[in-house]
Structure 1
Amino acid sequence: MSTLDLAGRALAAESARYEAMGWMRGTSGNLSVTLSRDPLRLAVTASGLDKGALTATDVVEVDADGQAVPGQAKAPSAEAGLHARIAGVAGAGAVVHVHAMAPVLAAEFWPDGVELRDMEMLKGFGRRAHDDLVTVPVVPNSQDMRVLGDAFEAGFRADTPALIVARHGIYVWGDDLAHARQRLECLEWLLRFRTRLYRAFEGSPQ
């Protein structure tokens, strides 16, 4: 079995898991794994498919610009270019992009970046539980992946493996799909807590 086939199996299984959580509704969201570094190649979920019903063949190999490597039958996600940019800049082994509600709400409240601190779940995101201010960057949405890639790179911090795209969704990355998922699950909880606390106190800063 080829590396791309193995990646396709893993991406299909992860996509089904996220879809069941309500984070990849309809055909939304996309996942990728890095296949090689030199040259940079990624396996990305194919465009326009139900993420709860992907198979091992519903994956596309793309280059450093997010363009499909010649000879493939399916088109990659439109956001493959940002996946490739993140993999190249951050050295990520996997990138996950979902449309969970909490990050999008958080970006509405804190469009200049979402601050998190002094919560135990931060350890699952790779940061300290105390005395460590974490600011998750927020960038405006764009249909141009070069624009989003430039915004990501401008605010990139190696110790903050996430990016919220306003009124769109969130990208989180890690060494592999499991690592990225664990970080995302922890960060989603943190953002859900932060937004609920903010709303409970009628918008008073918390």
Structure 2
Amino acid sequence: MDVEQAGAVLAAEAARFASFGWMRGTAGNLSVVTGRDPLRLAVTASGLDKGELTPSDVVVVDGDGAAVDGGRPSAEAALHARVVRLTGAGAVVHVHTVAAVAMGRRHPEGIVFKDLEMLKGLGQPAHDQEVTLPVVANSQDMRVLGDRLAAARDPRMPAVLVAGHGLYVWGPDPRRARHHTEVVEWLLELELASGSAFRGAS
């Protein structure tokens, strides 16, 4: 995928997530791998409304998240690159959702899902197996945050929740990364709603 194609794909994906309210204002960022040797990613540019991106609103970064040809990538580009190196992903999504932040506060030890058909959307069996979404403490240092993500991630769950911040989700390509994001967010919204219902009934 060349940079122009990558920009068009990321603009379309960002518009979709923004329409859900998951990338409010300039929050959130997306990336897609454009080359493996050496590693290159197209990352959404910093400070732009994610619902109004154009195909040119991307910055190419290297395997450490540093801009290759100028431009100002997201401050979290280094974490996108780290996720790609760790997982072999082809695309990474970072969204700020209410459910993610709320559930991260309630379950700083991680969020367990089981007996739900939607787990099939993550390639996991719907029954007889627990899958945990790891929760890690936030940091403004992407190396520190990357280390925490690397230590906590579960290969069965293509996502990590950063406490007080949002979700990082990945997949082999932008479409699959989007699907994983939508599934994980659905699971979080269900758990959030279920917890609220139980508290209301007590």
Quickly name the TM-score band, shorter chain normalised.
Answer: over 0.9
Aligned residues: 201
Unaligned runs of 5+ in 2: none
- Measured against aligned partners, the alpha-carbon deviations of 1:6-35 in whole angstroms (never above 9, x if no partner) come to 100100111011111100000000000011
Residue in 2 that maps onto 1:202 = 199
The answer for the alignment partner of 1:15 in structure 2 is 14
Q: Please name the residue that 2:176 is paired with.
A: 179
Q: Deviations over 1:59-97 (max 9, x none)?
A: 00001111000x32x200000010000000000000000
Counterpart for residue 124 of structure 1: 121
- Classify the secondary structure of the residue corresponding to 1:201: helix
1:135-154 map, 5 Å: 135-154=132-151
TM-score (norm 1): 0.94
For residue 159 of structure 1, report the CA deviation from its aligned partner.
Answer: 1.6
Do structure 1's residue 64 and structure 2's residue 60 form an aligned pair? Answer: no
Indicate whether 1:159 and 2:156 are aligned.
Answer: yes
1:101-129 per-residue CA deviation (whole Å, 9 max, x = no partner) reads 11111111110100000001111122110
> Aligned partners of 2:175, 2:150: CA distance in 1, in Å?
24
**Conservation of the 8 A alpha-carbon contact between 1:125 and 1:184:** no
Counterpart of 1:42?
A: 41
1:78 to 75, 78, 86: 75
In percent, how many aligned pairs have the same letter?
57
TM-score by length of 2: 0.96
Q: Give secondary structure in 2 for the equivalent of 1:150.
A: helix
Q: Structure 1 residues 5 and 156, CA, compared in 2 at 3 Å: closer, same or farther?
A: same
Any gaps of 5 or more consecutive residues in structure 1? none
